[in-house]
Structure 1
Amino acid sequence: MAKFEFSTGALAPMLNSALAAGFEEHSQSQDAPAYHKQRLNWTLQNAEEKLIAALTADLLWDWLYIDELWVDDSCRGQGMGQQLMQQAEDYARDKGLSGLWLWTQSWQAPAFYKRLGFSEFTRFDNFPTGHSRIGLRKAIAKD
């Protein structure tokens, strides 16, 4: 008889491997494209080699997911975030990707991303209560 178990934290390695294999088997049976995720990072350090800005992203299929964009408070307003986003977009364009996408919170930077040409594709209101989680994307025109 099947037995339900509840746990917190990461799955045990053996369970995680079985889960990944199950997803892969199902995807293959549906002729889904292969799942290969690659982590990409752009960082900016000052003269003292202190991290002052960073962008992390995941390349999955033909879209670049912007995971984190951070600029140190002392460096905000100097265009570093925009420059990092431009580098990610240039990378996506050079690789022939379809576009970039990301999540942001209503208190973070939706206006910043919209100024960069991103458009909202979904909104999860009251997440957390009184705020929204916003999905934004930017397609890259193919030459």
Structure 2
Amino acid sequence: MPIIEFSSGELDSQLQQQLSAGFDHHSQFQQAPSYEKQQLNWMLQDSQGKLIAALTSHLLWDWLYIDELWVDDACRGKGMGKKLMQHAEQYARKEKLAGLWLWTQSWQAPTFYQSLGFVEFSRFDNFPKGHYRIGLRKTLNLID
């Protein structure tokens, strides 16, 4: 009988390769679109080369997932986050993507993203307790 083992942390590379191969095989069997995730980043540095704002994202299928948007505390309120989001959206439009999406926490910036045209598609209450996690997306209506 198979034995269930528990571990914490990253899988060792051999187990991770076996797991990935299993997922790939199943996806091919189901005729799923190929899974090719690409990392895309926009960085803003000051004149001394210090990072003062950044947006990291993943392009997967036809959607751009905004992973992290950060602006240094000394630079907040100056439109840098908005500019980075505009660059990401311009990229998505140029590439004719279906849209952009992200997760944010209730204490972070849901109203900021909503002011950029993002709409809520999911809410996970009490994550963590007393707060919630919000899924937001912006569908791009591209005309071919």
- Shorter-chain TM-score range: over 0.9
Cα distance in 1 for residues equivalent to 2:93 and 2:16? 34
Structure 1 unaligned spans of 5+: none
2:93 matches 1:93? yes
Corresponding residue number in structure 2 for 1:110: 110
Moved >6 Å (runs of 4+): none
The 3-state SS of whatever aligns with 2:10 is coil
Cα distance in 1 for residues equivalent to 2:106 and 2:14? 38
AA aligned to 1:21 is A
Structure 2 unaligned spans of 5+: none
AA aligned to 2:84 is L
Task: State the identity as a percent.
Answer: 66
Corresponding residue number in structure 2 for 1:133: 133
CA RMSD across the alignment = 0.4
The 3-state SS of whatever aligns with 1:42 is strand
Cα distance in 2 for residues equivalent to 1:142 and 1:81? 24
Cα distance in 2 for residues equivalent to 1:73 and 1:9? 31
The 3-state SS of whatever aligns with 1:100 is strand
Corresponding residue number in structure 2 for 1:122: 122
Corresponding residue number in structure 2 for 1:25: 25
Corresponding residue number in structure 2 for 1:74: 74
Cα distance in 1 for residues equivalent to 2:27 and 2:59? 18
The size of the alignment, in residue pairs, is 143
Cα distance in 2 for residues equivalent to 1:39 and 1:10? 20
Cα distance in 2 for residues equivalent to 1:17 and 1:93? 34
- TM-score normalised by structure 2 residue count: 0.99
Corresponding residue number in structure 2 for 1:14: 14
Q: How does 1:15-54 map to 2 (within 5 A)?
A: 15-54=15-54
Cα distance in 2 for residues equivalent to 1:65 and 1:80? 19
